[in-house]
Structure 1
Amino acid sequence: MYIVYGIKNCNTVKKSLTYLDEHKIAYRFHDYKKEGITKAKLKDWSSQLGWEKLVNKKGSTWRMLDDATKNKVTSETKAIELMMEKTSVIKRPLIENGTKVIALGFEEEVYHSIDW
């Protein structure tokens, strides 16, 4: 079963969940706000994708950070600390199949190309 990580009220997450529902793809939703995220999970994703892809620098959470905080995010360790503290800064949705990340964000063309 797929696990979709995100925040329930995020528009991009809503688009992703709608896509999955319309295509009858079974998933479990993991809400960062309610369930949090572990350091081990973030390290695993970082090893698969690179921490730079996980930090959503286009989102409002990142934009609201002060420059000193932004400037500290120069390594995986610092990025993971920030993502654990402010889960809204994690790019979303992130979809896992077992332990493998199969999608980050929502692009319909990419979803169409996945062998669900």
Structure 2
Amino acid sequence: MKPRTANSMNIQIFGTKKCNDTKKAQRFFKERGIKFQFIDMKEKGMSKGEFNSVAQVNGGLDNMINWDGKDKDLLALIKYIADGDKLDKVLENPQVIKTPVVRNGRQSTIGYRPDVWKTWK
């Protein structure tokens, strides 16, 4: 099997166009000549499968939520509803997910994490 090069990475960046950390993540990969796919979470959130695979690697659903976000009522609802309903409520309201979410196959990060991205092959 060939070693993975920058060109064989499959980078996806989930975020919003206004998020500064998302812009910094895009710049990080552009500066290194690494192609990426940008998914605007205002237009197309994450699928349940995508979300679950990222949550599993990053400490679970609660770590994926930006608890300091603007919509305090929605965040309070998410905090106190049954765990079974929590995932659906988060997926219906992708603005509560911390951004950027950066994926490279099974690897993923939440937030601006160049220290981790530099180790990806």
TM range (shorter): 0.7 to 0.9
Does the Cα contact within 8 Å between 1:55 and 1:79 map onto a contact in 2? no
- Aligned AA (1:115): W
Is structure 2 residue 54 aligned with structure 1 residue 34? no
Report the equivalent of 2:22: 13
Distance 1:90 1:65 in 2: 15
Distance 2:115 2:28 in 1: 11
User: What displacement does 1:101 show?
Assistant: 3.1
Is structure 2 residue 117 aligned with structure 1 residue 111? yes
Is structure 2 residue 8 aligned with structure 1 residue 22? no
Is structure 2 residue 62 aligned with structure 1 residue 52? yes
User: What displacement does 1:18 show?
Assistant: 1.1
Report the equivalent of 1:65: 73
Unaligned runs of 5+ in 1: none
The count of aligned residue pairs is 111
User: What displacement does 1:73 show?
Assistant: 4.8
- The structure having more radius of gyration, on CA atoms, is 2
Local SS of the residue matching 1:102: strand
Unaligned runs of 5+ in 2: 1-9
Q: Over the residues paired in the alignment, what is the CA RMSD in angstroms?
A: 2.2
CA displacement 1:4-50 (0-9 Å, x = unmatched): 11112111101111111112111001111112222232223233321
Does the Cα contact within 8 Å between 1:13 and 1:93 map onto a contact in 2? yes
Identity %: 23
- Aligned AA (1:88): Q
Distance 1:115 1:46, change over 3 A: closer
Distance 2:114 2:75 in 1: 33
User: What displacement does 1:70 show?
Assistant: 4.2
Distance 1:97 1:68, change over 3 A: closer
